Amino acid sequence: MSIRVERDKESGVAVVTLDRPEKHNSVTLEMARELGAVWRGFRYEDEVRAIVVTGAGGRAFCTGIDRAAVGNVPQPSSPYTIDDPLLTIGPKANDLWKPVVCAVEGMACGGAFYLLGESEFLVAGEDAAFFDPHTTYGMVSAFETIHMAQRMPYGEIARMALMGSAERISARRAYETGLVSELTPPGGALAAACAAAAVIAGHPTEAVQGTVRALWSVKEAARAQALAHAPHLVALGNLTADRQAELFGRRGTGFRTR
């Protein structure tokens, strides 16, 4: 299985690991279904009071959907809807209000933001890097930017999305702008995230979940309205699948980190 779940009954913390390190923990359709099932399952596990999400291998947290494994997902002809297999890979999309902390090492890009955007806060190793390559390959970054706009200043999310694969945000810059709440030495993000999650899990769970729900209610109306527009923007602005594949096939390796 490509999703690994470990539960610590003593602390009340569960660790969800994306476990495809050879593919930078990119998400297949099966993994997307597994993640949704994991989040829904946690709703019934009272012994799990906080969750940490991380990626295996240290080279990447997640690099979004695995284009090689998934190929081109068939799309409805209507411009009012799209078929996006990543829409329900996050905890909030599955009506889970237990606190979630992301532990990021290495790359986090593209579809990773569905997970990062639905967590409470991020802990990152100093070698982590964040970027969004959608525009480089002729795709509208809609869902990703909407998720991340809840936790990044407008100028930062706009620059990341518009610069595409030409530029990456360093962990230090992410920390300075509030995307990351704690920096650790490389390899230390998981331990730090688990330590924070254990503290949270030690508090009365009704108060914790109520606090999470209250925090999300602050921007929920604006977020829901923005997400309602996203399918139309993607349908109207994306290049054809063949054209995307052409751009992806001749992608470069050069980028700037700031």
Residue 52 lies in a domain: yes
The number of domains in the chain is 1
Residue 215 lies in a domain: no
d(CA 211, CA 19): 31
Q: How many CB atoms lie within 10 A of CB 249?
A: 8
- The predicted-structure confidence for 211-238, as pLDDT tens digits, reads as follows 999 999 998 888 888 888 888 888 888 8
Residue 81 lies in a domain: yes
Do 27 and 65 contact (CB within 8 A), yes or no? yes
Query: What SS3 state is found at 137?
Result: helix
pLDDT at 25: 97
pLDDT at 250: 79
pLDDT at 154: 94
Assess whether pLDDT exceeds 80 at residue 73: no
Residue 234 lies in a domain: yes
Q: How many CB atoms lie within 10 A of CB 210?
A: 12
d(CA 34, CA 14): 15
- Domain housing 73: 3-186+201-208+221-257
Assess whether pLDDT exceeds 80 at residue 71: no
Query: What SS3 state is found at 187?
Result: coil
- The predicted-structure confidence for 12-33, as pLDDT tens digits, reads as follows 999 999 999 999 999 999 999 9
> What number of CA atoms fall less than 13 Å from residue 256's CA on the CB side?
7
Q: How many CB atoms lie within 10 A of CB 78?
A: 10
- The predicted-structure confidence for 95-110, as pLDDT tens digits, reads as follows 999 999 999 999 999 9
143 Cβ partners below 8 Å, 6+ apart? 84, 86, 87, 113, 114, 227, 230, 234
pLDDT at 70: 64
d(CA 106, CA 186): 9
Residue 233 lies in a domain: yes
Do 110 and 104 contact (CB within 8 A), yes or no? no
Assess whether pLDDT exceeds 90 at residue 79: no
- The predicted-structure confidence for 182-209, as pLDDT tens digits, reads as follows 999 999 999 999 999 999 999 999 999 9
Tell me the Cα Rg of the chain. 17
CATH of the domain at 53: 3.90.226.10
Do 86 and 34 contact (CB within 8 A), yes or no? no
> What number of CA atoms fall less than 13 Å from residue 29's CA on the CB side?
10
Residue 53 lies in a domain: yes
Assess whether pLDDT exceeds 90 at residue 150: no
Tell me which H or E stretch contains 123.
Answer: strand 121-125
Per cent of the chain over pLDDT 70 is 97
Quick one: CA torsion of 18, 21, 22, 26, rounded to 10 degrees?
40
pTM equals 0.91
Cα-Cα-Cα-Cα dihedral sign, residues 101, 34, 95, 62:
positive
Residue 120 lies in a domain: yes
pLDDT at 69: 63
> How would you list the strands of the sheet with 121-125, edge to edge?
3-8, 13-18, 50-55, 100-104, 121-125, 182-184
Residue 24 lies in a domain: yes
What b/e sequence results for 1-35 when a residue is b if at least 16 CB atoms lie within 10 Å of its CB, and e otherwise?
Answer: ebbebeebeebbbbbbbbbbeebbbbbbeebbebb
